[in-house]
Structure 1
Amino acid sequence: MASLATVSATCLNQFPLDFHGNLQRILRSIEISKQQGSRFRCGPELEISGYNCEDHFYEQDTINHSWEILAELLKDDRCQDILVDVGLPVMFKGVTYNCRVIFLNKKILLIRPKQILCDDGNYRESRWFTGWTKVRHIEDFRLPPVVQGVTNQVFVPFGDALLDLHDTCIGIEICEELWAPVSSHIDQSLAGAEIIINGSGSHTEIRKASYALELIKSASAKCGLAYVFSNLRGCDGERVYLNGCSTIVLNGDVLKLGEQYSLMDVEVLTAVINLDAIRTYKNRIRSRSLIAASAPSYPSVRVEWSICEHVSRIPTSPLDTVSFIPPEEEIARGPALWMWDYLRRSGASGFFLPLSGGVDSSSVAIIAYSMCTLITEYLKDHQDEQVLRDVRKVVRDQEYYPQDATSLCGKILTTCYMGSENSSQETKSRAENLANAIGSNHFVINISSATKAFVEELSKSFDGKTPTFQGEKVENLALQNVQARSRMVYAYLFAQLVPWKQQRNGFLLVVGTANVDEAIRGYFTKYDCSAADLNPIGGISKIDLKNFILYAGRKFKLEAVREIVEAPPTAELQPLESNQTDEQDMGMTYDELSCFGKLRKPQACGPFSMAAILLQMWKGKHSPEEIARKVKHFYTSYAMNRHKMSILTPACHMENYSPEDHRYDLRPLFYPDFAWQFKKIDDLVQSEVD
């Protein structure tokens, strides 16, 4: 008889410090796992406390409450007769570790601390945790009294060990250990592990969804094992969207793959794995067998439990195809669901969006409409009471049921065209047409009287001296900026008072509309209407937004988008006869900006390195002198506007060259004049010319 093991990977939408809510979602996942016949349930990283507690991990309350929740899990009837793996912070000998706790029938079997922490990109784990450095070593951990009272245990194993079950051996990785050059699963599999579990907290980026899966497939195929990967989902209070995609892979073949973006707070993937297939596969890889024969022993914890049952089951077959959604659909879903989590957990009753009729603000409006579409379609297909409760909580109506995206959008999204004497009829029409198409609650105002009042009051203090657009550059910029900042004041005024006008409680979250390219260049007014509560497109390039808006126009049948994309991007802050355009103002195209951004951040280029690369990349397109000028202009503009990036509205991280400096792109606030770097560029150009 084949040895058939039934295991579950879970995907949870957890929330930092929401101990009650996190507990209920964990219990629900265990309940579903058991209903699906699973003998082992693997959960995501730090699921008890929530992943992004950040400096709350310094607080003893966070650790103590996590133990209290674990005690609740241990004694709950739903957690009996199934091997369970959960994630929480644990302090051992005065050091805090990111840990997995494995328990069975009210007994803790092992506390496994994370060995390799993630400290790049959006992650700063070593700020709060320490990596466990004692590889292949376990010590005694004294349980806190709240848990001792449930388990009747005083000491349990703490450290790096395998789980030795009656019928198989299980190894444990935690998130970053999979990505590391020397991964834990290699030594564990050589020491006999047939199943590797991994509780993870991995975020999304456009075009990156397949990366983790390829690593898992490679690990499984190279070592011969079943890999059970459980990931978090959703916006848990940070700038990232945790992308789900929990996975079960056998010998390199994908058996189960969770949804890439979803409204499900609890998703469980269960697979029946033929352990004999693992053993046969291992035995056929002769080089692996040779290495395994001389591999050092690994400490193990004996578990009186069989992961296989003597019941009639059919092994789960590999998926025929594995595919991920295209970038345009990632934008339609990722930022939309990030917005939804932000909204439902903030206590707000909707969003307020300054809608200019350009690509950026129109993209945000369509992302909000996509959010409404995802919600209404999900409720048609799923009897999910939690999603319905969240919708009713937001709209302040306990009887409401969203019939379609347009009606829901009218309740959740308020848009406003904030025109001035410098605005065109075309942009006003584009904004109104889009608002009508998606059903937003739309307003039109004119800010000219307010901005004139600012200037007139200033003129009184300046003894009648009044700035003009035709005057010096400083006058022109000041008059543009006062318009932009007036829109921010109006945005927050509307956000507070629209619910009052509608005679319902609540407030609106102001949504920003600056894309990632403009943020890098600093092409926005500090504290204008880009200074919002959240920004769904702050991590998306202008190029991707244009592609998205055309895609969304087809998907949602929005005829207004073609005109929006074809119109030259413009701030409309100068008199119309100036024919102001964004690219002209910036002194560079959006294509060039995107290129500069990718070289600056992911490829870690300074001015000289960037120029050296572009001299080859743009050879034949621009002269060496022109390339040097463009690089110098970019870095001069970047340095001059760096201070703006320190106050960027929290944005959904979707692109790997974001300048967001809360944690992703840590740079000085002020820069020198790059005299030395620019001289080296000139020398390089001269050598090219010679």
Structure 2
Amino acid sequence: MHDGFMKVAAATPKIRVADTAFNAREMIKMIREADRQGAKLIVLPELSITGYTCGDLFFQESLIRQALDGIKQITVETAVTDILIVAGLPLAIGSKLYNAAAFIKSGNILGFATKSFLPDYNEFYETRYFSVLEENTFINIDGKQIPAGPKLLFCAENMDALKISAEICEDLWAPIPPSTNHALNGASVIVNLSASDEAAGKNNHRRLLLRSQSGRSICAYLYANAGPGESSTDLVFGGRSSICENGVMLAEAKSFEESILYADIDLQRIIQQRRKTTTFRPQTGEGYHKIMFNIQLCKTPLDRIFNPTPFIPQTDAHLEERCEEVLSIQYQGLKKRLAHIGLKTVTLGISGGLDSTLALLVTAKAFDSLNLSRSGIVAVTMPCFGTSDRTYSNAQKLIASLGAQFREVNIKAAVTQHLTDIGCNIENHDVTFENAQARERTQVLMDIANQTGGIVIGTGDLSELALGFATYNGDHMSMYGVNASVPKTLVRFLVKYVADTAGGELKDILYDILDTPVSPELLPPNQDGSVAQQTEKIVGPYELHDFFLYYMLRWGFSPKKILRMAQHSFAGTYDEETIAKWLNIFLRRFYANQFKRSCMPDGPKAGSISLSPRGDFRMPSDAVIPKPFL
């Protein structure tokens, strides 16, 4: 379970109603198989040792005794495995019968969690057979006092993040599920043993409950549902076991199959999210009984899929929705700023690249929403030593297509004079040569904004801010940065979305911009006229950097863990050494350039991450850079 990952399983076994011997054998097969696959936790359905649909057979003493014998058989025959087992049974305590979940590990019954909410409506009539145990108690099993009750917390002695509690079927459907209190009292994993029958439309609601509860409780949620082996006298059970984590469905079984469902849960991710969420307020554990167990720590082979582009949804429908949301946030933020200061003009530099294109598109939408003429958008091109014909032409076409006011200021002479004034050899294409152009462009934009009574709209994106790939007091500065929380990988999709929805000439222009290599164009072009300076060859692939950025800031993961996840996600695209190299570069650049972010302009938060020092991210500019991890 290195890096917090742990393989877990939710199983729907083959059963025969009231045949506890058969059911125990089938459950043992599944437990052994899950153990071979490296799972450390397996949950089986509600009353799985007998079947949920036994009806009045639950009144038979022989069935109750056989159920406990079946649990004992499972305990003995799985003693050599290293897997925590949770299985359902009818449990007699004194004169009452309880719907319970047995926790079994290494040949021992650790405890029995009991159901709190018994359904007695529609097709359910559990109160006919079962009672509710209000407080924890103990039950004597073969001379051992075994804890039983609604508030049990099973804790791994050698893995502090692993704490498990159970709820049973209807408990999840209650207004305040027991799992809410379990989580607040430390449970990072909730198991649900269920026997939820099939009905038209029910599965979607059940799926919503599972995702919602795992998200609200910030936990992993394992749901094992009864399957086709249950009686079909009046109902049909379809299995459909599920594994969720913090609002996300990690895995879901097919309908009407008796199988084992696996997933890799991330306990570090759960704990980290709880630390960040101030409204998640842990309770004192009053009334809870902790049961300790040991588990062998090992490195879990990862089957979990990590989205290599975490800022970009994986389906077209979700991507379109995300693009519309982000664009709306961007232009609404700018709209509010312009309305507040009463301006009818803005200035921004247009290079023919993706970032300035997106900024111009957003500005046009803001002007439209304010019923302002787009001629108030002063779009300035500032060609210099590295400007290519392609980007220059696209900038002109884009400005004209959007109806903005076109202005051109060639800065070659000004930059040449400035470099001469400070004694810099113009043939020496060093950082001074590059930054002089960026700062001259910013000065031009600021002065034109003064001249026209407007403000300068910043074009830099989140990825550039993270890497510090911006000239201090150059393109780093503006009066409002509309792209400040939009990562580079998403910028491309936003521009493409506008292109596809706009159509016509604008679509053609935007598609050509999309096909242009990303470059600051601060170095003279190659002899064939092609761009000499390509950003991703300098700082590395943005898809890697956005992956690093997301998992470092959103989840607080260590470089070692991020490296492992990246190598898993980008296998076949980048080799392990290449990923490690760019991760080291990312970390060095991120820490070294905080001073630029400490004074960055205002800009709207559009996604889950922002580097604004006034908003999401506060970091000292002289924090120590992590040492290389290889």
Relative to the length of structure 2, the TM-score reads: 0.47
Relative to the length of structure 1, the TM-score reads: 0.43
Structure whose residues are more often helix by fraction: 1
Larger CA Rg, structure 1 vs 2? 2
